[in-house]
Structure 1
Amino acid sequence: MSRTMFLILWLVIASGILTFMALAWRARNRRDAGLALPDSGLAGDVVQAFEHVGYVSTTPAGAPLERLAIPGLRYKGWADVTVRRDGVEIAVTGERPVHLAAASVRGTDSAGGRIGKVVERDGLALLGWEGTDGRAVESSFRFQTAGEQRRFAAAVGEIAPSAFAPKSSHTLTTSQTTHTSQEDA
């Protein structure tokens, strides 16, 4: 096989893979269109504001490896998260802000991993909420410190006192993640 034929073969393979990826992302966008949130802003008093938080992903409750393509929450990046009396605002850099009404917020939890990131035990904060179509979903964040993560959980607890109960045993929790550290010794 000549170098030219080899190059053409690899170009065909690469373009096929890229085409498949684009079609799959488009199908995911159509599938998750029912979860699109209303554009209404929140006007309640600020309970707690967190700047420059690592937004990881939004997944269906109990399916930590299945990313949802919700407008405003599609891509991993830095976010400003504001907990208000009437809900939670998530503003991922480069995306339009997402406003979750307090009535749709189910609570918080923690995990060691989600699609896009695996960290130490309880290193990710989960925000459980319900989409407009009734599906339970979880948005995950990586805070700079454990203290920030606890303040986030306390602030969400003020507006959504109901307990966060994962709908499936597939959710990564403390008992399912393993790591070795000096704390465990």
Structure 2
Amino acid sequence: MSPLQYVLVMAAIAVLAVGAMLLGWRARFRRSTENAVEIAELTGELIDQLEDVSYVSTTPVGQPFDRVALKGLTYRGKADLEIRADGVRITVTGEPALTIAGDRVQGFAEAAARAGKAVEPGGLSLIVWRSATAEDQLLETTFRFAGVQIRDRFEAAIARLVEINENAAAQNHSLNTPMNQEDA
């Protein structure tokens, strides 16, 4: 085989490989759009705001290497987090902002490996949340923080958000419970 033929064959293989990867990513994005999150403006009390953190990936709970491609959370990059009493707004550089309603946030966790990143134990922080689908799929959105102090702020803010929403749900439940006739 001549050098020119070799180069042409290798170029054809490269084009096919890249094309297959693009088709696969588009299919994953199409499947993941069912997890779309309602985009809403957050107006609640500001709990914390973290700027220039590293967004890693979003995965289903229990499947840390099965990346979910959501609009606003498609690609890795620097992100800003705004944690308010009524939800979390994630703005990854170059993507539209994504909002997770506060009542969908389940909590936080730490990990060492996720799709797109492997670090020391506890080096990654996650928001655990329910998707806006009929199945209410549990998802984990992963971040890497520049230092322990920023990670601690993140965890405290998410814990506060969960506490606020649990208290609101409990209060709402007690307001909707009919009084016993003996209480009347």
Question: Could you tell me the TM-score, scaled by structure 2's length?
Answer: 0.86
More helix per residue: 1 or 2?
2
- The aligned counterpart of 1:121 is 121
Structure 1 residue identity aligned to 2:14: A
Identity %: 39
- The aligned counterpart of 1:14 is 14
User: Gaps (5+ residues) in structure 1?
Assistant: 164-185
- Root-mean-square deviation (CA), in Å? 1.3
Shift of the alpha carbon at 1:21? 0.5
Cα distance in 2 for residues equivalent to 1:155 and 1:28: 31
Structure 2 residue identity aligned to 1:2: S
- The aligned counterpart of 1:152 is 154
Structure 2 residue identity aligned to 1:57: S
Shift of the alpha carbon at 1:70? 0.2
- The aligned counterpart of 2:26 is 26
Shift of the alpha carbon at 1:153? 0.8
Structure 2 residue identity aligned to 1:26: R
- Counting only pairs closer than 5 Å after superposition, residues 1-185 of structure 1 correspond to structure 2 as 1-133=1-133, 134-161=136-163
Cα distance in 2 for residues equivalent to 1:144 and 1:46: 22
Shift of the alpha carbon at 1:123? 0.7
User: Gaps (5+ residues) in structure 2?
Assistant: 167-184
Q: C-alpha offsets along residues 34-63 of structure 1, whole Å, 9 cap, x if unaligned?
A: 011112111111101101001111111111
Structure 1 residue identity aligned to 2:48: Q
Q: C-alpha offsets along residues 80-123 of structure 1, whole Å, 9 cap, x if unaligned?
A: 00110001110101111111101110100000111111111101
- The aligned counterpart of 2:171 is none
Secondary structure at the residue paired with 2:51? strand
Shift of the alpha carbon at 1:11? 1.2
Shift of the alpha carbon at 1:3? 0.9
Cα distance in 1 for residues equivalent to 2:61 and 2:123: 18
Q: Which has the larger radius of gyration?
A: 2
Structure 1 residue identity aligned to 2:18: L
